Amino acid sequence: MHTSDRIERKILLRVPRSKVWRALANAESFGQWFGVALGGKRFVAGERTQGKITYPGYEHLVWDVEVMRVEPERVLAFRWHPYAVEPAVDYSSEPTTLVLFELEDMDGGTLLRVIESGFDNIPAERRLKAFRMDSRGWEEQMNNIETYLATH
């Protein structure tokens, strides 16, 4: 396992697994804490989900994922183009990374683990920047879902 190929973050959320699952698997809820307008959207395995990014500075971008797995209260997984932020660049021919959210019961709550893998396949000129930006981004998103769950 190459450390340059994957990012892993985890957080203990002091709420039941069912509540964490709703925040993850309900696309509209996901969008609220993740920073994407996903009103009326759903996460369905084998289908694409898209929405306008609402995170300040990135509103000109569309978030576009291919949902790979939806296993209730256990796993949500999708593929995307990491740090695809240049509007003039067509990323469609590049390989994607796999983002995997896993839920596990823990004393006092639910362990949420996110693993993004496949960076070794990203073109060399973008790989390090994409890895660094997504690594930082997952830190922020773990805080975002914790804050969201505390208020919803």
Q: What is the pLDDT of residues 54-84, one digit of tens each?
A: 999 999 999 999 999 999 999 999 999 999 9
Q: Where are the beta strands (DSSP E) in the chain?
A: 6-13, 36-37, 48-53, 62-71, 75-80, 97-106, 109-117
pTM of the model: 0.95
Mean pLDDT for all residues in the chain: 96
pLDDT at 1 over 70: no
pLDDT at 148: 98
Q: Find tokens 């639910």 and name the residue.
A: 110
pLDDT at 4: 82
> How many CA atoms, within 13 angstroms, populate the side-chain half-sphere of residue 75?
12
pLDDT digit string, tens, across residues 92-146:
999 999 999 999 999 999 999 999 999 999 999 999 999 999 999 999 999 999 9
Q: Which domains does the chain have, with CATH numbers?
A: 6-151 (3.30.530.20)
